[in-house]
Amino acid sequence: MRPAGLRPAWFASGVLAVLVAVTAGLAFGSVPLPPGGVAVELLNLIPGVRLHSGLTEREVAILLELRLPRVVLGLVVGAMLSLAGAAYQGAFRNPLADPHLLGVAAGAGLGVTAVIVLRPATDAAAGLPIGVPLAAFVGALVAVALTWVLGAAGGRDRSPSALILAGVAVSAFLAAMQTYLLQRHVESLREVYSWLLGRLGTAGWHDVLVVLPYTVVTAVIVLAQRRELDVLTVGDEEASSLGLHPQRSRYLLIVAASLGTAAAVSVSGLIGFVGIIVPHTLRMLTGPSYRSLLPLSVLFGAAFLALTDLLARVAGGAAEIPIGVVTAFLGAPFFILVLRTSRSLTT
């Protein structure tokens, strides 16, 4: 039977979820803003439109210079992590696959730790070094490359199980190196962990512009492979008989998803479980077809992280909760649910 395509009702629901997340993220916070005024001020961004929003100059500055870049960054990172999670789950045929599976998190964490602890002492008072995003990006890609090489050890083919085991080994090794660096430079613990716990704090559009090109490239490649992912679900032998090259499609998906994930964590820190919560929830609601799952993961993943960031901003009062803590709080029980569900399906 042919997999179902994207239903207009679900697509409309995803767009609505994004609009709700944007409105809530912009309107609520330490300084509440009227949603109507926020909507009007956003319309004023359109060339030629000039409407009176009723917001003061201070409120407009808060909206456009602080909240809007942060909300957009949350949308981009959430869409990327969710899409990458769905791509990994299809490529590995494993509902527990996550964007951090191939050592991305460990590699990014080691890169950031090295930049922070090895910087000159004279720069310590300046906050996080400007090279943190680049270090996280390079570290994540190096980790994926190591996993890729190690996954082929002992044979020509990189099977999904071999890549998963290689990712676990690489993650453990890089995490040990990170721990060693932190033990030798305990004065940098606070700064390192502030990044590792995840954050979307931004005072401009720089982070959005950094991650957006990689997100677009990854989204185009992965979405173009959604039919191939549906074919991969029947197994490699059956997929080959249907004219698909399973390994080539799987490699392309893994590389694209890893590139996008590396870019996302380089500007947001380590935000876990998004790639499990959103795709698996959609899979239970809309069915297993990747023709609908992938585009919906982009929309609902964006809305999910934007709303989660709002929760992180307002739940802790004056002290903002790291967004990685919030997603872990939501994701840990969900992970157990997915694990139990996957076990019940295989027994």
> Phi/psi at 98 (nearest 5 deg)?
-140, 155
Helix (H) or strand (E) holding 343: helix 323-346
Answer for the pair 218, 88: CB distance below 8 angstroms, yes or no. no
Answer for the pair 11, 296: CB distance below 8 angstroms, yes or no. yes
| Structure confidence at residue 1 (pLDDT) | 43
Q: Angle 74-77-78 (CA atoms, 0-180°, nearest 5)?
A: 75
- Number of residues that make up the chain: 347
Domain ranges within the chain, ordered by starting residue:
71-342
* The domain made up of 71-342 is a member of CATH 3.40.50.620: no
pLDDT tens for the chain, 347 residues long, are 445 567 889 999 999 999 999 999 999 988 889 988 998 888 888 888 888 888 888 999 999 898 999 999 999 999 999 999 999 999 888 777 787 778 888 898 899 888 888 876 544 444 456 677 888 888 988 998 898 888 877 555 667 778 888 888 999 999 999 999 988 888 888 888 888 888 887 668 888 988 899 999 999 999 999 988 988 887 777 777 777 888 888 889 988 998 899 889 888 888 988 998 999 899 989 988 999 999 999 999 999 999 999 999 888 776 788 898 899 888 878 877 777 766 554 44
For residue 225, which of 197, 245, 202, 201 has the smallest C-alpha distance?
Answer: 245
Alpha-carbon distance 235 to 246, whole Å?
Answer: 9
- Chain centre distance of CA 123: 30
Q: Mark 290-322 as b/e (b = at least 16 C-beta within 10 Å).
A: bbbbbbbbbbbbbbbbbbbbbbbbeeeeeebbb
Q: Supply the pTM of this predicted model.
A: 0.88
Tokens coding 265: 């964590």
Tokens 């954050």 sit at which residue? Answer: 199
| Structure confidence at residue 245 (pLDDT) | 83
Answer for the pair 205, 211: CB distance below 8 angstroms, yes or no. no
| Structure confidence at residue 10 (pLDDT) | 93
| Structure confidence at residue 24 (pLDDT) | 93
> Phi/psi at 2 (nearest 5 deg)?
-70, 130
| Structure confidence at residue 126 (pLDDT) | 44
Tokens coding 144: 């994926």
Amino acid at position 253, single letter: L
Number of helices and strands in the chain (H, E): 15, 0
